[in-house]
A and B are shown apart, each in its own frame.
Chain A
Amino acid sequence: MSNARFATIALLAGVLLIVGAQWIQNDYFFNAAYTVLMYVILSTAWNILGGYTGYVNFGTAGFFALGVYSSIVLWKAFHPPLAVMIVVGTLVAALAGVGLGYLTMRLRGHFFAIATLALAIMLFTFVTNWDYAGGARGAYVIVPREVPFGFARYIRYLFSVMVLLSVASIVVARVVERSRLGRGLAAIRDDELAAECAGVPTLKLKLISTALSGGMMGLAGTTFPFFISFVEPVGAFDLRYAVNAIAMPVIGGMTTWLGPLIGAVLLGTVQQLVQVTISSAWNLLIVGLLLVGFVTMAPEGIMGWVFAWRRRRARRS
């Protein structure tokens, strides 16, 4: 399927989801769905660097928080339209991605992963001490009373925006995956020296990858202040984002765009269910158990099963 065709179908599916969901009466659905979609974007973003390029990023929360806090600051200063905050937050996080790339790209494996963690901690410290953005106390964001485009409630509007952002992220991931860029990233993941010796400008491609991945993580955070209306640093930098952004692609499968989507929808939904039926404290435990299970028994994730099944079928025919 061509990229244009895929994008059209994905957009149509998104619009159908938005329109169809408006018949749902329970507003809780929109809260839960917003969170699941946020994870769709985060895990799709993580997978561009982690899955396609082979660089494990533990600093998801840092990039996410950059999106969150750039929206908070912009909102306090100018009250701009949501679209402006989405674009700016994404760019800020993408820039941080390039910065991370420049600082750490000579590091490999564990050292890169540790550096990403350090970046998140540095950002956390910075935000905690930044009074204008609320500092350690946190920041209130008054959600606009006027709901755009005639949606019944603001959360329905946010949900719809999140659907579109998810569609955009997935389309970007798929385009990257099948492009010349994607082949270069896969070569870096498999063997960076061999990639360089096959003509791949590895440094440049890694910077593109960190920028895309970081930018999309920021994107997932730009609407967050309006979703929870009170943001404190501990919440914006929550460990859950980093853990889920890794667990979801691992569970779904890291080599294609579909893996993070499946992982995020499955794990995200399970977490939402656990949260209402048992308690949110169990969420991380469940993620941990699933992660260990998949890493040891199905390292290629759910998509790995699909590929194995397809291979078997191809051999039989």
Chain B
Amino acid sequence: MNDLLHVQGLTKRFGGFVALDRVDLQVAPGERLGLIGPNGSGKSTLVNCVSGLLRTEEGQVSFDGHDISSLPAHQRIQRGIARSFQIPKPFASVSVLDNLCVPLLYATGHREGSHRPSEAQVRSQAIAILDSVGLAQRADEMSSGLTQVDMRKLELARAIAARPLLLIADEAMAGLSSSEVDEILQLLLQMKARGIAVIMIEHIMRAVMQFSERVVVLVAGHKVADGNPHEVIANPDVQKAYLGE
């Protein structure tokens, strides 16, 4: 089995409420996966369980061949699982550039041995990443003053700065205009060239269909479909549960 991410039988309860019920999920290296589902179906909860912010009662998360179920979040990103937040969480008191310095200093060391980059190296790496997402002009601005779309880009840039193998983008396009959606979509499509697998969580179906090589559907904590995007969308179960028809 050469999956990059392998989630098996994942269950998450909040009190008596079952948010995720024995969910299985596989992602191959470099794959582009769309994860969809109605509001409250457990998508963000799944992200939190995979990225390590939430502990799970049952099930196993393996990454790159290792069981990481018991690792805290900061060790998971060091191993290569990066995520963006549905509601952007910038480091608001520092500049855009300094936002990227945090993962550059803390998340990349693990896979590159004990060698720690110098301040100048970190800065130039940060600028290169900002450049690639179109934020270079904003490098020295405070992150709290960014526009909505730039905030989303910063969120992605910070995830990329960790040099991940898997990026989970949780509704990175919510609330954006159509042209802005295309900008973010282009960024996510470019991840393949960097060798990064992407799980895109999205309600905007146009973007999901354009992006995904495979689509997974979550409904009320259950995985109800997994496969070719067009087949999944045509699936009557999905139509009924997700599109409400």
Chain A residues proximal to chain B, CB less than 8 Å: 180, 183-184, 186-187, 189-191, 193-203, 255
B102, CB-defined interface residue at 8 Å: yes
Instruction: Provide the bound-state CA to CA distance between A17 and B44, in Å.
Output: 58
Contacts of B93 in A (CB 8 A): 186, 189-190, 255
B77, CB-defined interface residue at 8 Å: yes
Instruction: Provide the bound-state CA to CA distance between A255 and B95, in Å.
Output: 13
B51, CB-defined interface residue at 8 Å: yes
Please tell me if the beta carbons of B53 and A195 are within 8 angstroms of each other in the complex.
no
Residue in A190, A196, A199, A202 whose CB lies within 8 Å of B92: A190
19 contacts between A and B (CB under 8 A): A183-B102, A184-B102, A184-B105, A186-B94, A187-B91, A190-B93, A193-B85, A194-B91, A195-B91, A196-B73, A197-B51, A197-B53, A197-B83, A198-B74, A199-B77, A199-B102, A199-B105, A200-B102, A200-B106
Chain B residues proximal to chain A, CB less than 8 Å: 51-53, 72-74, 77-78, 82-83, 85, 89-94, 98, 101-103, 105-108, 116, 158, 162
Contacts of B78 in A (CB 8 A): 199
Residue in A193, A199, A201, A203 whose CB lies within 8 Å of B89: A193
Residue in A189, A193, A199, A202 whose CB lies within 8 Å of B162: A199
Residue of A186, A189, A195, A198 most packed against chain B (CB within 10 A) = A198
Closest to B143 in A: A190
Contacts of A198 in B (CB 8 A): 74, 77, 102-103, 106-107, 158, 162
Please tell me if the beta carbons of B103 and A199 are within 8 angstroms of each other in the complex.
yes
Residue in B91, B94, B107, B116 whose CB lies within 8 Å of A199: B107
Contacts of B101 in A (CB 8 A): 183
Please tell me if the beta carbons of A196 and B74 are within 8 angstroms of each other in the complex.
yes
Contacts of A191 in B (CB 8 A): 89-92
The answer to whether residues A196 and B72 also contact, given A183-B101, A183-B102 and a CB cut-off of 8 A, is yes
The answer to whether residues A199 and B74 also contact, given A183-B102, A186-B93, A190-B93 and a CB cut-off of 8 A, is yes
Instruction: Provide the bound-state CA to CA distance between A183 and B93, in Å.
Output: 11
Please tell me if the beta carbons of A180 and B105 are within 8 angstroms of each other in the complex.
yes
Contacts of B116 in A (CB 8 A): 180
Instruction: Provide the bound-state CA to CA distance between A183 and B92, in Å.
Output: 13
Closest to A54 in B: B93
State how many angstroms separate the Cβ of B92 from the closest Cβ of chain A: 5
Please tell me if the beta carbons of A183 and B98 are within 8 angstroms of each other in the complex.
yes
Contacts of B83 in A (CB 8 A): 197
Instruction: Provide the bound-state CA to CA distance between A201 and B71, in Å.
Output: 11
Contacts of B82 in A (CB 8 A): 197
5 new A-B contacts at CB < 8 Å, known A183-B105, A198-B103: A180-B106, A190-B94, A199-B108, A200-B74, A201-B106
Contacts of A180 in B (CB 8 A): 105-106, 116
Instruction: Provide the bound-state CA to CA distance between A251 and B59, in Å.
Output: 51
Please tell me if the beta carbons of B51 and A199 are within 8 angstroms of each other in the complex.
no
Please tell me if the beta carbons of A201 and B91 are within 8 angstroms of each other in the complex.
no
Closest to A189 in B: B93
The answer to whether residues A194 and B85 also contact, given A201-B74, A202-B74 and a CB cut-off of 8 A, is yes
Contacts of B107 in A (CB 8 A): 198-199
Contacts of A184 in B (CB 8 A): 102, 105-106
Instruction: Provide the bound-state CA to CA distance between A169 and B3, in Å.
Output: 51
Closest to A204 in B: B74
Instruction: Provide the bound-state CA to CA distance between A189 and B92, in Å.
Output: 9
State how many angstroms separate the Cβ of A181 from the closest Cβ of chain B: 10
Residue of A190, A194, A195, A202 most packed against chain B (CB within 10 A) = A194
Please tell me if the beta carbons of B72 and A195 are within 8 angstroms of each other in the complex.
no
Contacts of A203 in B (CB 8 A): 72
Please tell me if the beta carbons of A187 and B102 are within 8 angstroms of each other in the complex.
yes
Please tell me if the beta carbons of A190 and B91 are within 8 angstroms of each other in the complex.
yes
State how many angstroms separate the Cβ of A96 from the closest Cβ of chain B: 25
Contacts of B90 in A (CB 8 A): 190-191, 194
Contacts of B74 in A (CB 8 A): 196-202
The answer to whether residues A199 and B53 also contact, given A187-B91, A190-B94, A194-B91 and a CB cut-off of 8 A, is no
Closest to A300 in B: B93
Instruction: Provide the bound-state CA to CA distance between A281 and B166, in Å.
Output: 62
State how many angstroms separate the Cβ of B156 from the closest Cβ of chain A: 13
Instruction: Provide the bound-state CA to CA distance between A186 and B105, in Å.
Output: 13
Please tell me if the beta carbons of A193 and B102 are within 8 angstroms of each other in the complex.
no
Instruction: Provide the bound-state CA to CA distance between A165 and B206, in Å.
Output: 64
State how many angstroms separate the Cβ of A301 from the closest Cβ of chain B: 13
Contacts of B108 in A (CB 8 A): 199
